[in-house]
Structure 1
């Protein structure tokens, strides 16, 4: 089901969408009237743009989200708890690092990755954040910048969910300006010594490995390091009392002269292009996740306005309610189609 998706360029993708749209119009007769086979949730016909494999991945992710994530979200939000075994369930369903080829990963398209994020965030953004960090901010840089030894060691375990990772870039004094980071990497015999702290780090309280970005004393350049949380001098305290993402395990990474062997340096990148490449990968899932959350809200609002009656008729009978619902559907439809067209398939 999670096999490699067929290659399809952006131009061909656009043409296939236009062809499908024209066929729908012809079948309906009236270009301003939907036929009965067109689902109201899919007014821009995203379904026709997806490959069969992408539909299967989407359906699998939705079934997983409904059966595994939905029953735990209320308790997680109320008590700020996250069950680590959720990552094992992600792994059993082949959902972690789905765009990576080999190492136990699916080798799926970027669109499929976005569809997974969309289904996960239908339940809660906290789960989508945990999924995005593991896939885009931990597995992606190891795959892109790591050695073969690092890939073979970490990617299969991260894909199965038996190991959990986090991404250490944001600091207490540097969020939107990561180039001003204060975490340092000092060259020593056999490796490096890292000193500093990272803040607002998703997954850090339950992580086995941290992708930490630090400034090297040798040239002032930012480099990536794989820091294991069991090492001496590493601690990852949990941040409590959040108003949002309460089911997400958020914390810090504190490093007090932590020795990192040379074998744990990511050799494939130097400078800010390293962390920025990771963030660019994560943004696709974040954007698709927003669509999933919005669609869930629209579903709930739609049902409420159909069930709730005032003055002898449903709220949905009022024109202002219908207009707002239609506007929301259009906005989400445009976003979904832009994401599908902009991020070309592998």
Structure 2
């Protein structure tokens, strides 16, 4: 059967909580996903391929660069960025993460920590999605303990030689510029380096066999005496604390990703329950099905309001949003969204595991959202440290 998801239900009137300009961004992204992403994405997801033909149309939405002012970037509100992330994830998580890596992590690193020359060189083209970015922090043996990465940078004259490996790096196999985080052998501090695709000593191999975000190309990077000029070092990236500020700035967007997947799951499950008939009537008429839908709606509404509040605080005064507040939003939204998509899959029975009904894709993709930008446990410990004043990390 064909499931036509009904998106008309706005139970707690979220529309009234965002501005007309933010609604316009949301509606443009929603139309793009409905018309161009959803009809084709299942095939790409199943094959583990990225739909490169969508990039020019995605570029016309004017999302890349997010809140960055100038350099050809859109200068959006945090709320506009958030609802755009919600709608992209509602369409497909791989497309959202592709944009989030370029716009939030790569462009965010260059904008916050780069030189004026680096900003002028990269940001305008990246805002047009003519140049794509990647963000290389996670390593094969270093995930949550990102402050102790093993990739090294050794200065030799006016260049740095980078050696090491990175893993799970989205876009890295085709990105034009990859922000590589490495430990300076001289200072022992973590610094950021702009490695251009094609640089000798840089190699990226796409990781296969994933069960989530299959249309996103994650790669394992190897760096072997990869020569990076001094001009490509991010001058304001002096320690891991600077890296953490980039991650903090993007965590609210990942919270909205969770909202988007949960919203899609609720929409699909509700439409399915109203269309699917058993025992002579729609299954939506049965008590246990209604109970599942109400539970899904409750969790969805809770994370909508949480994401909305932390995002409004960012727009009012970003300095008032602490690292713990950003982590709580990501951790809670991801955990509850994971529950919502699981309930949606359960409600649809066997039909819930078929790609053609879209629920299976959201169900699988939430496993990635639950893990990246800080695992559930690490984000919990960041919040715990803030509310107790005690460090629980080993």
In structure 2, the residue matched to 1:95 is 63
Q: Larger % of helix: which?
A: 2
Take 2:226 and 2:8, find their aligned partners in 1: how far apart are those partners?
55
What's the TM-score, normalizing by structure 1?
0.86
Matching residue of 1:149: 117
Counterparts of residues 291-330 of structure 1 (less than 5 Å) = 291-330=259-298
1:121-149 deviations in Å (ceiling 9; x for gaps)? 11221111111111111011111111111
How many Å separate the matches in 2 of 1:188 and 1:263? Answer: 13
The DSSP-based 3-state class of the residue aligned with 1:206 is coil
Structure 1: how far apart are the matches of 2:127 and 2:13? 32
Describe the SS at the equivalent of 2:154.
strand
Q: Which residue does 1:336 correspond to in 2? A: 304
Query: SS of the counterpart of 2:223?
Result: strand
TM-aligned CA deviation for residue 269 of structure 1: 2.5
**Shift of residue 68, structure 1, vs aligned partner:** 2.5
Single out whichever of 276-285 and 296-305 deviates more from structure 2: 276-285
CA contact (8 A) 1:223 1:271 kept: yes
Whether 1:225 aligns to 2:224 is no
Contact 2:252 2:310 in 1 (8 A): no
Preserved contact between residue 117 and residue 289 of structure 1 (Cα < 8 Å): yes
Instruction: Kindly indicate whether residue 121 of structure 2 is the aligned counterpart of residue 163 of structure 1.
Output: no
Once the two structures are TM-superposed, the CA of residue 175 in structure 1 deviates from its matched residue by: 0.6
* CA deviations over 1:201-227 (Å, ceiling 9, x no partner): 111111111000000011100001101
- Once the two structures are TM-superposed, the CA of residue 70 in structure 1 deviates from its matched residue by 1.7
Work out the CA distance in 1 between the residues paired with 2:25 and 2:163.
42
Distance 1:308 1:64 in 2: 28
How does 1:224-243 map onto structure 2 within 5 Å? 224-243=192-211
SS of structure 1 residue aligned to 2:226: strand
Contact 1:42 1:333 in 2 (8 A): no
Q: Is this contact kept in 1: 2:26–2:83, CA < 8 A?
A: yes
| Deviation per residue, 1:146-190 (Å, 9 max, x gap) | 111111110111111111111100111101111221100001111
State the shift of 1:319 in Å. Answer: 2.0
Q: TM-score normalized by structure 2?
A: 0.75
Aligned: 1:79 with 2:52? no
Distance in structure 2 (CA, Å) of the matches to 1:88 and 1:200: 25
RMSD: 1.5
What's the CA shift for 1:40?
Answer: 6.9
**CA distance in 2: counterparts of 1:162 and 1:186, whole angstroms:** 31
- Give per-residue Cα distances to partners, 1:15-46, cap 9 Å, x unaligned: xxxxxxxxxxxxxxxxxxxxxxxx97322221
Alignment correspondent of 2:33: 65
CA offsets, 1:60-82, max 9 Å, x none? 11111122222331121121111
Three-state SS of the structure 2 residue aligned to 1:194 is strand
Pick the aligned partner of 1:127 from 95, 101, 116: 95
In structure 2, list runs of 5 or more residues that go unmatched: 1-6, 317-394
Residue 77 of structure 2 aligns with which residue?
A: 109
Find the aligned partners of 1:149 and 1:84 in 2 and give their Cα distance: 29
- Sort the Cα spacing of 1:184 and 1:69 in 2 relative to 1 into closer, same or farther, 3 A: same
* Paired residue secondary structure (2:206): coil
> Hey, what does 1:184 align to over in structure 2?
152
- Would the alpha carbon gap of residues 311 and 83 (structure 1) be closer, same or farther in structure 2, given more than 3 Å must change? closer
For the pair shown, the structure with the greater C-alpha radius of gyration is 1
Say whether 1:172 aligns with 2:140: yes
Per the TM alignment, residue 255 of structure 1 is displaced from its structure 2 partner at its CA by 1.0
Between the two proteins, the alignment pairs up a number of residues equal to: 308
Question: Which position in structure 2 is the counterpart of 1:6?
Answer: none
Unpaired stretches in structure 1, ≥5 consecutive residues: 1-38
